[in-house]
Amino acid sequence: MVTSDRKANFVPKIFTYLFLETMKKLFLTFLFAFVALFLPAQDSVSVSHLLFENIEMKGDIYDFSKVLQKQGFKQQQRDLNQLFFVFKGTVLGHSEQFKVNFSKKTKTVWRIMVQPHNVPLDEIVDSLTARYGDPYEALAASYKWMLPTGFVQLMVPEGYDPTLVFIDGTGAVAFKDEDNRS
């Protein structure tokens, strides 16, 4: 038989145990809630972009234009209806004009096109291979470098100057989404 002394001791111990367990659970719940409130949201994770002449192809055309101009590129033309700006500057070690395309609504930069004039094809391929590694795809009329942030393609149509295309993956998604392309 349990004596009344032991009974009196047993009841507070069980209540103390239950109280401590409940408090522990409440404390952990509040701790997790507090930590979750102050952790950065997923949309603030940095996204990397394709590099063009060591400049990230990111943001809207106006911010990107300012960055290009700070790096010594000169704006030659802007056409807001056709969604491009034209710049001149040193690309792959040669003075070239290039076109920067952007999306219609958010003006997000997504493509840069360069037509290197009087530059030997081998020199262009060697320069791109030094920057991006061996081409992912090398065909008779095209070279392609697939990168985690987009791709670079060199198209060599017979009888014409080669065309070099830089496509930023993030910007291309914005362009596709805004213009309802598949």
Tokens standing for residue 130: 């030094």
Tokens standing for residue 180: 């309802």
- Residue 87's SS3 state is strand
Tally of structural domains, the chain: 2
Q: Tell me if 105 is assigned to some domain.
A: yes
Residue 66 and residue 29 in one domain: no
Provide the β-strand partners of residue 146.
Answer: 151
Domain span including residue 35:
4-40
Q: Which residues contact 14 (CB under 8 A, 6 or more apart)?
A: none
Residue 25 and residue 100 in one domain: no
Query: In this structure, what are the phi and psi dihedrals at residue 181, rounded to the nearest 5 degrees?
Result: -100, 155
Query: pTM of whole model > 0.85?
Result: no
Q: Are residues 143 and 72 in contact, defined by beta-carbon separation less than 8 angstroms?
A: no
Residue 16 and residue 93 in one domain: no
Residue 154 and residue 106 in one domain: yes
Residue 97 and residue 24 in one domain: no
Residue 98 and residue 168 in one domain: yes
pLDDT in tens, the chain (182 residues): 555 555 555 556 766 777 777 777 777 776 667 666 666 554 544 567 888 998 999 999 999 999 999 999 999 999 989 999 999 999 988 999 999 999 989 999 999 999 998 888 899 999 999 998 888 888 878 999 998 889 999 999 888 889 999 999 888 888 888 766 54
CA dist 165 and 118 (Å) reads 17
pLDDT at position 48: 77
